[in-house]
């Protein structure tokens, strides 16, 4: 904990900016490094790596950005919201996935061709609801009337489609519903969720400490061997919401596994709202809703990771975290939204900043139901 | 302060419910008072008055509802959101009010007939934007090109229309903009704002105290002689955002006037987000955005009203305030939204409650820009 302040020497302003475009160029042409800058922690080449790959950086690299509060007040935040909501103009390429008259997801029109081979599981039906640009929707075969049958049949198709079409199979099931809290129609492999555009729910927790009236956030740095977002910055605790567990129970479970927080402390975590986004990437349509939690931790608490998913933790003043969010892409994308929500609720973003309401609204750009 | 807990004896559950309908009947037919209930504070007749008039009630009446936590978990909150968002199906009766190509408000198609007499100020123009159901929009005469000229000319029309058409003239000006923070096109009398459907912004502050780990909210009871919502419950501090003052400055000003909170304390008020609603009542279209603030007050602070708008204050446990919101209509309508937002952010409403996301979303039912 103490090392945070010790190493946060003040650096000259305007080192780097995150790109305003969705797909930052891999060249370093838009990196402006003013002359006569002293780099106490890493040479310019290393900074380029931070910017372009987002993986190969150290805590020392991170803190360089923590003091840089020179950028347009809200611009860097808007960029991060945009990163989580790519290609919204391509929604029209997706066909509704309907069960029992309700939309539970969306399938890319070209991906749906892969499903048509499995006629005893998937059907392409004429759409009378007006929900589809293609005049049709994807449905399950009516013989699959129970949740168990659907889960098994769809699971078998996903296995047949294989890693080429649906990479990263985790053998972890997510509930398929029309909205949160409604009965599950069936359960779907986590890696397949974006290919079927189902709503996925998660819990994200900002763990913070208050010391002498100033707030500090615990940042996790993901393990370099994690299959997703290796080495990126993350919340102290976060996780998807699998089948059959409530948000509150899940937070307590993840607190124990990811940060070694005992139930006596984690049970005081406070539900504070939700953010949402809709991201299109090829055949993948993510419709994620993240339930946000705050946990005020004792000043002397030190997190310890137990499941090997976190490389290390660091306690950083919230004002510095805000600069890291605005100035870099070092955080796992969706964490940005939850931290921006934290910044709103704790008064770090003020109505006087131009774009306040627009940014606030953008935190629920996805279908937040 | 101490009197709050002293008088909060526990009462039998299920006394009264707020009506789920938009316009509660003035009869007491839907008030169900179970037999064998002891009323330590007031007789049944008084309770009927609370319910039907919303004005003639005392603090003792209020606390009766504070312990009643038996209703459907979120139902009472949804009812209050609905109260602030009436008649949305009648949006189509309104014509856009446009200045310099931007929509700044909406005018009821029949109310617009009153404006047509003032041809040197208002014009009805053909609409090419597709924004209007009537194929036209209301505009200002092009000769009125400056903010000052528009303010004066429209102000004169409002005076001519008189109290019959626009009651409650306050001689208080609100800025007319397309969205928050953009340049003002002109300034409009506050009482006329809903007749022109302009966006109106306000600041609402929840003042709270933390004692032994439990949070308490300060409730204000409005003066019985106030022209609007006399005798209703209110926030500790709230006000419209007039022309030429920032949200933060306005909070400090209102804190001093409404609750005698010195700048040394009020300057620590935290901006925490915003709520919005759209309410249609006859010719009136309210499009209000309320910036929400939290202020943690010292335990021994006692508010004192200085502008005569508040009759008295009371400190009430947040859990009891939640029950008052759910079970009654004693609060000024829009305060309900800001307090429900507080309940979300402070963990009093949890994701496990069915309808959590829907209720959260509903707090910004209006155009929150």
Query: Sorting pLDDT into bands at 50, 70 and 90, what band is A302?
Result: very high
Q: How far apart are alpha carbons A23 and B115 in whole angstroms?
A: 51
Question: Which B residues 228-247 touch A at CB under 8 Å?
Answer: 246-247
CB atoms within 10 A of CB B117: 11
Whether the pLDDT of residue A22 is over 50: the answer is no
DSSP state, residue B267: T
Q: How far is CA A251 from CA A203, A237, A286, B357, in A?
A: 7, 8, 22, 18
3-class SS shares of chain A: helix, strand, coil, % to 5 = 30, 25, 45
Mark yes or no for CB contact B179/A358 under 8 Å: yes
Residue-wise pLDDT for B193-204, tens only, equals 999 999 999 999
Residues near A198 by beta carbon (within 8 Å), at least 6 away in sequence: A97, A104, A105, A174, A176, A188, A287
**Residue B24, pLDDT score:** 27
Mark yes or no for CB contact A351/B289 under 8 Å: no
Contacts of B289 in chain A (CB under 8 A): 357
Mark yes or no for CB contact B351/A179 under 8 Å: no
Mark yes or no for CB contact A271/B364 under 8 Å: no
One-character DSSP codes across B321-333? HHHHHHH---B-H
Query: Sorting pLDDT into bands at 50, 70 and 90, what band is B70?
Result: low
Q: Please compute the mean of the pLDDT values over residues A101-127 and round it to a whole number.
A: 95
Q: How far apart are alpha carbons B68 and B91 in whole angstroms?
A: 37
Q: How far is B367 from chain A (nearest CA, A)?
A: 10
Q: How far is B198 from chain A (nearest CA, A)?
A: 17
Q: How far apart are alpha carbons B31 and B48 in whole angstroms?
A: 8
Coil/strand/helix, residue A174: strand
Q: How far apart are alpha carbons A312 and A303 in whole angstroms?
A: 9
* pLDDT higher at A50 or A235: A235
Which site among B357, B358, B364, B369 would you substitute to test the A interface, given the most A Cβ atoms closer than 10 Å to its Cβ?
Answer: B357
Of A180, A270, A355, the CB nearest to B357: A180
Question: What ipTM, to 2 d.p.?
Answer: 0.84
Whether the pLDDT of residue A297 is over 50: the answer is yes
**Residue A61, pLDDT score:** 82
Per-position b or e across B118-153, b if 16+ CB within 10 A of its CB: beebbbbeebeeeebeeebbbbbeeebeebeebbeb
Of A270, A291, A369, the CB nearest to B361: A369
Mean pLDDT of chain B: 85
Please name which of A345, A339, A341, A342 lies closest in space to residue A359, comparing C-alpha atoms.
A341
User: Are A52 and A61 contacting, i.e. CB atoms less than 8 angstroms apart?
Assistant: no
Q: How far apart are alpha carbons B184 and B100 in whole angstroms?
A: 11
Of A345, A352, A360, the CB nearest to B246: A352
Q: How far is A94 from chain B (nearest CA, A)?
A: 25
Query: Sorting pLDDT into bands at 50, 70 and 90, what band is A55?
Result: low
Q: How far is A30 from chain B (nearest CA, A)?
A: 30
Q: How far apart are alpha carbons A15 and A302 in whole angstroms?
A: 31
Contacts of A74 in chain B (CB under 8 A): none
Whether the pLDDT of residue B95 is over 50: the answer is yes
Question: Which B residues 236-295 touch A at CB under 8 Å?
Answer: 246-248, 270-274, 289, 291
**Residue A72, pLDDT score:** 66
Q: How far is CA A215 from CA A2, A177, A210, A316, A343, in A?
A: 14, 38, 4, 9, 11
CA-nearest residue of chain B to A181? B354
**Residue B55, pLDDT score:** 55
Q: Which two tokens stand for residue B76?
A: 């009472």
Q: Please compute the mean of the pLDDT values over residues B30-48 and round it to a whole number.
A: 31
Q: Which two tokens stand for residue B222?
A: 């409005």
* pLDDT higher at B218 or A242: B218
**Residue A12, pLDDT score:** 28
Please name which of B149, B165, B151 lies closest in space to residue B117, comparing C-alpha atoms.
B165
Q: Which two tokens stand for residue B337?
A: 């939204």
The region of weakest confidence among A104-118, B5-19, B213-227, B328-342 is B5-19
Q: How far is A152 from chain B (nearest CA, A)?
A: 28
* pLDDT higher at B11 or B369: B369
Whether the pLDDT of residue B349 is over 50: the answer is yes
Mean pLDDT of chain A: 85
Residue-wise pLDDT for A146-167, tens only, equals 999 999 999 999 999 999 999 9
Mark yes or no for CB contact A179/B356 under 8 Å: no
**Residue A59, pLDDT score:** 85
Query: Sorting pLDDT into bands at 50, 70 and 90, what band is B52?
Result: very low
Residue-wise pLDDT for B274-331, tens only, equals 999 999 999 999 999 999 999 999 999 999 998 899 999 999 999 999 999 999 999 9
Q: Please compute the mean of the pLDDT values over residues A2-30 and round it to a whole number.
A: 30
Q: How far apart are alpha carbons B8 and B68 in whole angstroms?
A: 11
Q: How far is A313 from chain B (nearest CA, A)?
A: 26
Residues near B115 by beta carbon (within 8 Å), at least 6 away in sequence: B107, B121, B122, B138, B157
* pLDDT higher at B23 or B176: B176
User: Are A325 and A339 contacting, i.e. CB atoms less than 8 angstroms apart?
Assistant: yes
């Amino acid at each position: 904990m103490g090392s945070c302040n010790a190493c946060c020497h003040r650096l000259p302003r305007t080192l780097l900016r995150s790109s305003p475009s969705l797909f930052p160029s891999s060249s370093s042409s838009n990196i402006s490094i003013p002359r006569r800058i002293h780099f106490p922690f890493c040479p310019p080449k290393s900074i380029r790596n931070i910017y372009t790959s987002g993986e190969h950086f150290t805590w020392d690299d991170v803190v360089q950005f923590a003091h840089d509060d020179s950028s347009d007040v809200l611009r860097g935040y808007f960029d991060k919201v945009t990163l989580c909501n790519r290609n919204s103009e391509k929604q029209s390429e997706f066909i509704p996935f309907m069960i029992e008259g309700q939309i539970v997801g969306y399938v890319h029109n070209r991906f749906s061709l892969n499903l048509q081979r499995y006629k005893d599981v998937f059907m392409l039906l004429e759409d009378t609801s007006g929900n589809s640009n293609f005049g049709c929707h994807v449905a399950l075969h009516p013989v699959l009337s129970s949740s168990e049958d659907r889960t098994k049949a769809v699971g078998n198709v996903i296995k047949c489609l294989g890693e080429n079409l649906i990479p990263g199979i985790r053998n972890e099931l997510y509930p398929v519903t029309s909205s949160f809290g409604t009965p599950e129609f069936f359960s779907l492999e986590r890696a397949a969720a974006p290919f079927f555009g189902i709503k996925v729910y998660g819990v994200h927790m900002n763990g913070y400490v208050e010391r002498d009236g100033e707030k500090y956030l615990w940042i996790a740095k993901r393990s370099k061997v994690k299959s997703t977002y290796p080495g990126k910055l993350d919340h102290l605790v976060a996780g998807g919401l699998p089948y059959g567990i409530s948000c509150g129970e899940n937070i307590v479970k993840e607190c124990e596994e990811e940060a070694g927080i005992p139930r006596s402390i984690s049970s005081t975590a406070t539900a504070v709202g939700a953010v949402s986004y809709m991201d299109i990437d090829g055949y993948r349509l993510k419709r994620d809703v993240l339930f946000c939690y705050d946990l005020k931790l004792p000043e002397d608490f030190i997190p310890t990771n137990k499941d090997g998913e976190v490389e290390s933790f660091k306690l950083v003043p919230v004002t510095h975290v805000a600069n890291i969010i605005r100035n870099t892409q070092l955080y796992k994308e969706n964490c940005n939204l939850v931290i921006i929500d934290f910044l709103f609720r704790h008064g770090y973003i003020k109505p006087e900043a131009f774009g306040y309401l627009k940014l606030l609204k953008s935190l629920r750009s996805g279908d937040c139901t």
